[in-house]
Amino acid sequence: MPTSGSTTDPRALITDLAAAIGARHTRTDEDTLAPFLVDERRRYHGAALAVVSPADTVDVATVVRLCGAAGVAVVPQGGNTGLCGGATPLSDVPSVVLSLRRMREIRRIDRLGRTITVGAGATVAEVAGTAAEAGLLFPLSFGAEASAQIGGALSTNAGGTNVLRYGSARALTLGLEVVLADGSVARLGRGLRKDNTGYDLKHLFVGGEGTLGVICEATLALFPPARQRATAMATLSGGRPPAPATGSPATGAPESDGAASAAGAGAGLEVLGRLLDASDGRVSACEWLSPTTRRLACAQPGGARDPFGPGAESLLLVELTSGQAGEDLRRLLEEVLGDALADGLIGDATVADGSAAAERLWQVREAAAEKRAGGSIKHDIAVVPARTPDFLAQATAAVEAILAGVRVNAFGHLGDGNIHFNLLAPPGADPHVLFDSEDLLTGAVFDVTESLGGSFSAEHGIGQRWRGELARRKPPAALDLMHRIKAALDPAGVLNPGKVL
């Protein structure tokens, strides 16, 4: 997209960028560049002419304009915590990494309107911390929140553990300032709760992964703070052998991993339904761990401790929160779990006594997401909640048919139908046997997901990783629409090429 004063010499571009943004913030030396050219998990490696760190939106616009004129790609990068390579430049496309890290200013808090306006480079944890100081809650919360930046969190429509109650990043976005591919600046939404003056364009950039524009500033929704919290963990009845169907072997046959997971998830959904109903929807987290995940998460000496000791059932972690002072959330939780116990949905339960005990329950969930020796193949799927048991049974059977003994480390946000269906090599096997079958295994998991009307990327996005899957699995009319939008907004392909589409 050449503009006036266009140039095609990369050295000239660097000179222009340094003149505009400052030499200190336009770096080309290998050591400085290195961390920007690889993702946090070291799965994606790329190359760049420079990394530039603009001070403000005007700077960002200048960078995009200069790069566009030079025919050089702009790759926006926040905290670099993404899981799909969306912020890593390609190796074979001349690129500049645009780091938003200097634009971390908290611009303002509107206590009456319950909003916060921040630069894209502020971390998710900083935003939540500033909101908390003002007596308000910013609910977005996920593993990488300490280093993930708001711009990246919005660009990937981040999810996490509070989506059930507060929605994904998208639901929290009331306004954006975006630099477009031609270097123009669009303010979309103004922190208003209602604005029907034309198309709601901000939703193109939330989840757009930097391919349609660069998010520079955001106005985000805040909520009354959680003044009390009740957290519990329970074993789900899925560990028991199911009642034998006519013609099936008598009792005693060990239940398959998939069947146990499916039954556990089904029981967990029933408990969740009761909790939502009893608490007026104030369930802020409903996390589920399969039997295998439970075992793995609590296997490390000195790591997370299984509150029930070793067992073959799935685990459910639920948390209620309220900003209301006089309520007894703990009693409510105990009542619902007591009934669930009486009805055989859960086998055992513990309600955390104080925040340290709650923290210990959360450690079990967090341990589920930890890196495993030898590596794993990660999938982040979603189906409508009612289909979760079918998904678990069918997907487990499908991967077991491809690689006997494969371990399914499945856990996730049960209330959203969002399962992290991660695969590990069979016990004792060389990890290569797993990765040798990666395409087959992933294809099988996604085929099951698709047949159940689900999503093959619920919260992690597309990036580089799932670009082929998107082209293959997205319904043609929707995919064609995406291409038309990309062509309309970035005809020269300046912004984050090779990602998403």
Which positions from 83 through 142 interact with a copy of itself, judged by CB under 8 A? 110-115
Residue of 3, 300, 324, 451 interacting with a copy of itself (CB under 8 A): 324
Residue of 70, 276, 364, 408 interacting with a copy of itself (CB under 8 A): 276
Write out the H or E segment, with its range, that includes residue 438.
helix 438-451
Sorted by sequence, the CB contacts under 8 Å of residue 194 that are 6+ apart come out as none
Half-sphere exposure of 113 (CA within 13 A, CB side): 15
Token match 């123009």: residue? 184
Closest separation in Å from C-beta 95 to a copy of itself: 22
> Does 191 interact with a copy of itself (rule: CB under 8 A)?
yes
Residue of 457, 494, 497, 498 interacting with a copy of itself (CB under 8 A): 457
**Residue 247 or 326 having the CB closest to a copy of itself:** 326
Here the tokens at position 145 are: 């929140």
**Residue 11 or 190 having the CB closest to a copy of itself:** 190
- Kindly indicate which of the ranges 141-149, 273-281, 294-302, 351-359 contains the residues binding a copy of itself, using the contact rule CB under 8 A: 273-281
Apex 330 CA angle, 325 and 336, nearest 5: 130
- Kindly indicate which of the ranges 5-13, 15-23, 121-129, 178-186 contains the residues binding a copy of itself, using the contact rule CB under 8 A: 178-186
Site for a copy of itself in 211-230 (CB under 8 A): 212, 223-224
> Does 325 interact with a copy of itself (rule: CB under 8 A)?
yes
**Residue 373 or 477 having the CB closest to a copy of itself:** 477
Site for a copy of itself in 418-447 (CB under 8 A): 418
Whether the Cβ atoms of residue 420 and residue 388 lie closer than 8 Å to each other: no
Sorted by sequence, the CB contacts under 8 Å of residue 94 that are 6+ apart come out as 10, 49, 71, 72, 73
Whether the Cβ atoms of residue 209 and residue 153 lie closer than 8 Å to each other: no
**Residue 268 or 307 having the CB closest to a copy of itself:** 268
- Kindly indicate which of the ranges 7-15, 30-38, 151-159, 369-377 contains the residues binding a copy of itself, using the contact rule CB under 8 A: 151-159
Closest separation in Å from C-beta 69 to a copy of itself: 19
Find the radius of gyration of the CA atoms of the chain: 24
> Does 203 interact with a copy of itself (rule: CB under 8 A)?
yes
> Does 345 interact with a copy of itself (rule: CB under 8 A)?
no
Whether the Cβ atoms of residue 414 and residue 268 lie closer than 8 Å to each other: yes
Whether the Cβ atoms of residue 59 and residue 479 lie closer than 8 Å to each other: no
Residue of 24, 92, 197, 245 interacting with a copy of itself (CB under 8 A): 197
Cα separation of the two ends of the chain = 19
> Does 496 interact with a copy of itself (rule: CB under 8 A)?
no
Here the tokens at position 353 are: 């006594």
Q: Identify residue 425 by its one-letter amino acid code.
A: A
Helix (H, G, I), strand (E, B) or coil at 51: strand
Closest separation in Å from C-beta 458 to a copy of itself: 4
**Residue 199 or 302 having the CB closest to a copy of itself:** 199
Here the tokens at position 408 are: 């399914």
- Kindly indicate which of the ranges 89-97, 256-264, 269-277, 295-303 contains the residues binding a copy of itself, using the contact rule CB under 8 A: 269-277
Count interface residues toward a copy of itself (CB under 8 A): 93
Q: What is the largest CA-CA distance in the chain?
A: 80
Residue of 60, 75, 153, 204 interacting with a copy of itself (CB under 8 A): 204
Alpha carbon 230 to its chain centroid, in Å, reads 24
